[in-house]
Structure 1
Amino acid sequence: MDRKIIIGLTVLLIGLAIAIIFAVIAFLSKKSIKKHDDFNTEKKRIGMWDFTKQNLPLFISLFGLIISLTGIVLLIN
């Protein structure tokens, strides 16, 4: 196999693995937070750091999707 294809497949698989793992973590954490936080109202102020802590798995999952798109581009070229 060509070296570019091997690198592209590796990047694609790593990106997909990161995206899937952290998407599952984000889903499970949102589900557990929602169970325990039903009594809180939407009027609660949330700071930037709290927002980042709460959504970090989602951000990493999106980063994994970007990595997998890079792998696809490497495979096409």
Structure 2
Amino acid sequence: MEQKEAKNEENLVKKTCRELGITQKELAEYFGVTPKAVSNWATQKHKLPTNFYFLIDLIKTQRKYNSLMNAINNH
């Protein structure tokens, strides 16, 4: 079960970067952690901290909001 959980974490880090069009280094800047920490989460060397799931959702929501506001302002 723990292996499956780690696989999901790896996918979440990489999926988040892909969806947002950012690098792992940029994701580290959003989180206020080192790029090495994000790399360790992506390669399953360390477990993704629970509170970072919330931060990922927050970043995605912020991006959607900014995109929506830009679309509204451009019309």
The TM-score range, normalised by the shorter chain, is: 0.3 to 0.5
Q: TM-score, normalised by structure 2?
A: 0.37
Q: TM-score, normalised by structure 1?
A: 0.36
Query: Does 1 or 2 have the higher relative contact order (CA < 8 Å, sep 6+)?
Result: 1
